[in-house]
């Protein structure tokens, strides 16, 4: 099984051969972000940690897209969306709101949560179960809706 790092390297080579400078630059940026974390922590990242870095990069793009949308900047919006598409290509498939609600319902039953006051009881196990498979905001929304908050 190839690691995420191997997939990034293969995609970089492919982008260089096909002269896709936009994709090449995005992948190089991702590799640079991974390398920076390795330098900062003085460790070599495992595959799960590499995915965490990619998820942070994707989150940055989602936030930038939201800000560009609010500011009416379609030029920035389109560029960030293009980058997000490339980044998401290296991430595992993200869970939908309905899938998250089903998981939330299971955890709510397990911990005996009954109201919005029990949100913290549910969020810990929920985030542990869906780590890397969903954005925190979406998880929070699913738990809130499942608790009727």
> What is the pLDDT at residue 18?
94
Q: What pLDDT digit, counting tens, does each position of 32-89 carry?
A: 999 999 999 999 988 888 888 998 998 899 999 999 999 988 888 899 999 999 998 8
Domains of the chain: residue spans and CATH: 4-88 (1.10.1510.10), 97-147 (1.10.10.410)
Q: What pLDDT digit, counting tens, does each position of 85-137 carry?
A: 999 888 888 888 888 888 888 888 888 877 777 788 888 888 888 877 887 78
Contacting residues for 122 by C-beta, under 8 A, at least 6 apart: 104, 107, 108, 111, 113, 143, 146, 147
Contacting residues for 97 by C-beta, under 8 A, at least 6 apart: 138, 141, 142
Q: Retrieve residue 143's tokens.
A: 């738990």
Q: Retrieve residue 90's tokens.
A: 């290296």
Closest CA to 95 of 132, 133, 123: 133
pLDDT of residue 1 exceeding 60, the answer is no
What is the Rg, in whole angstroms, of the alpha carbon atoms belonging to the chain? 18
pLDDT of residue 147 exceeding 80, the answer is no
Rounded CA gap, 81 and 88, in Å? 10
Contacting residues for 90 by C-beta, under 8 A, at least 6 apart: 4, 7, 8, 11, 30, 54
């Amino acid at each position: 099984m190839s690691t995420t790092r191997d997939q990034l390297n293969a995609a970089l080579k492919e982008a260089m051969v096909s002269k896709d400078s936009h994709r090449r630059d995005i992948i190089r940026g991702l590799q640079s972000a991974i390398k920076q974390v390795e330098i900062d922590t003085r460790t070599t990242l495992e595959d799960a940690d590499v995915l965490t870095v990619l998820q942070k990069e994707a989150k940055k793009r989602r936030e930038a897209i939201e800000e560009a949308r609010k500011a009416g900047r379609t030029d920035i919006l389109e560029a960030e969306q293009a980058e997000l598409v490339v980044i998401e290509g290296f991430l595992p498939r993200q869970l939908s709101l309905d899938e998250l609600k089903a998981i939330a319902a299971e955890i709510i039953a397990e911990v005996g949560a009954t109201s919005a006051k029990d949100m913290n009881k549910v969020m810990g196990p929920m985030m542990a179960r869906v780590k890397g498979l969903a954005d925190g905001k979406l998880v929070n929304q699913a738990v809130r809706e499942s608790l009727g908050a």
